[in-house]
Structures are given as structure tokens and as C-alpha cells.
Structure 1
């Protein structure tokens, strides 16, 4: 099947599923798109935010003219909520039939096969090189990604789509 036909089917399927949802019926899944979602855990940014909060509290208490009023505690509470948001919003990589998707700081980003230059796997790191823009790096150290599993899945993805794959 051509990709344009697949896009038309996917688009029409979305329309039908919206109508079925309004009617209270279940959604139709025809030839469900097979994708693998692999998640990590973000712990560095929450730790840095908690350390920043501690530094803020210590510096504010050492000030002689500072009073711990309501705004001080609201600020600390907001930073704790931000740290919790970063901790519970787990980073992921989804490997589909003809795309790779992940969450960046600006939102979810999808990279089609045509935009991928090559894939490099080394101990603790997986790097997806793009034709335009910066490389996507998935690290075991910073985001606790299971890089061995990601490397195996991306090797199959690269072979299926004719992408250069390099294992170091």
C-alpha cells in the first residue's frame, strides 16, 4: 500500500472514530499502527530544582530584614510542584513503522524516516542524527533510558527503512 493511501485511511478513521465517540460507541481500530513506547525517568531536573529551593531558603533566612510571608511559601510550593511535574512527566521514545517520536521541552516531536540521517548506538547512549536540526540523544545516565532495548528496536527500524545504523 502506498503511504498516501495509508494517510487517507488514517484520516478517515479519525473522522469515523470521532463520530462513534459522540454516539457513545467504541472506537474502530483497523490495522492498528504498531509502535513501541519505551519510557525513562527524569531525575536530574527535579534534584536541581530541590537544591535551588534549599539554596533559596538558606539565603533568605540569612537576610536580616527578610520576613517569611505568604509569598515566600507560595514560591517554594510552586518550585516543589514544578519539580514533581518534571519527575512524573516521564521522557519516552516511540518507535513506529515509519517514524520516531519523543517529548522535547517544546512538546512532542515526531521524526519521519525521510528526516533521519543515521542512528548511532554506543554504551549508555543512543543518538538519532537528523538531516536538519540537532541530534536526538537518549542517555542512560541523564534520563534512565534502557538504551540496550532502544538500540535493538532502532536497529530493526533502521533495517526496515534503509537508514544507516552504527554500533560502537
Structure 2
């Protein structure tokens, strides 16, 4: 818990790092026996693997539950949505879905894909929904 009363849950993103790692290994394996090969193939393969490790360890997905707003890391950067902009929150055993009003966007936080601790996250989302009069659905 932070000084402003917000709680941050951090997960681990594994899909993109796995894809980058597979691409790096593919580059290292498939280009190793080519004639006239320079060091650039090795640098390319190693760069994909380095980027995969960097994304896995540094760029972690998170959701910050504040008093009247949610903040999450999206692909283009951190996004904050006020409670008045949330249409509903759906809580399941393995996922939390936040439906946003303006464009109908959805933020999905899962146990499998994002590696969040769902029991704690579900409890805090229930408190947030009750405190801010947001529609809550449980599956």
C-alpha cells in the first residue's frame, strides 16, 4: 500500500518474451551455416533474446487501484481511468475484466497470461467497485 492509499498488483508478461526468444533462437539456428556469413546474424539473434529477457524482467504489467481511479500499463504506456468512466467490472476465478465507457475498451487481467495473484486482486476490485458505485459482476 502506498501513501495515497493505492494498491499496486504486478504480474509477469510471458507471451511476447517467449515469442521474441523463439525468434532469436530461430535466427541463431537457421543462419549459422550460411556461406559468407558475418557477425550480424549472431548479433540479431542475441538482440532478440536480450529484448525478451528485458521485457520479461523490466516491463511488468501492473494494475494500480486507487481511491477513485485505476491505472494500468498498456502497450502505448500507462493509462488511468476514473471510476466514472468504468461501465462494469467482471470478476472471475482466473480473470478480471474492466469495461470502459467511452470507447467500449476492455482491460483484462488474467492469472494465466499476466500472472497476477487473482485472490488478492479480486478482493481489492470488489472494494473499489463498492466504494465507487461501479457495477460488479461475478462469474
Unpaired segments of 5 or more residues in structure 1?
1-31
Task: Give the structure-1-normalised TM-score.
Answer: 0.75
Name the counterpart of 2:52: 83
Name the counterpart of 1:155: 126
Of 28, 37, 56, the match for 1:57: 28
Residue-pair matches, total: 135
Cα drift, residue 35 of structure 1: 0.2
Q: Residue 121 of structure 2 aligns to a residue in which SS?
A: helix
Q: Counterparts of 2:114 and 2:83 in 1: how far apart (Å)? A: 24
Q: Counterparts of 2:27 and 2:107 in 1: how far apart (Å)? A: 33
Larger radius of gyration: 1
Name the counterpart of 1:18: none
Name the counterpart of 1:166: 137
Residue 102 (str. 1) matches residue 67 (str. 2): no
Cα drift, residue 57 of structure 1: 2.1
Of 139, 142, 151, the match for 2:110: 139
Answer whether contact 1:40 1:143 (CA < 8 A) is retained: yes
Name the counterpart of 1:8: none
Of 76, 79, 95, the match for 1:125: 95
Q: Residue 112 of structure 2 aligns to a residue in which SS?
A: helix
Cα drift, residue 76 of structure 1: 2.0
Q: Counterparts of 1:44 and 1:66 in 2: how far apart (Å)? A: 34
RMSD: 1.4
Answer whether contact 1:49 1:80 (CA < 8 A) is retained: yes
Q: Residue 141 of structure 1 aligns to a residue in which SS?
A: coil
Unpaired segments of 5 or more residues in structure 2?
none
Task: Give the structure-2-normalised TM-score.
Answer: 0.90
Post-superposition CA distance 1:48-83 (Å, at most 9, x none): 211111122222235x4351x222222123212210
Q: Residue 52 of structure 1 aligns to a residue in which SS?
A: helix
Q: Counterparts of 2:63 and 2:122 in 1: how far apart (Å)? A: 11
Bigger proportion of residues as strand: 2
Q: Residue 31 of structure 2 aligns to a residue in which SS?
A: helix
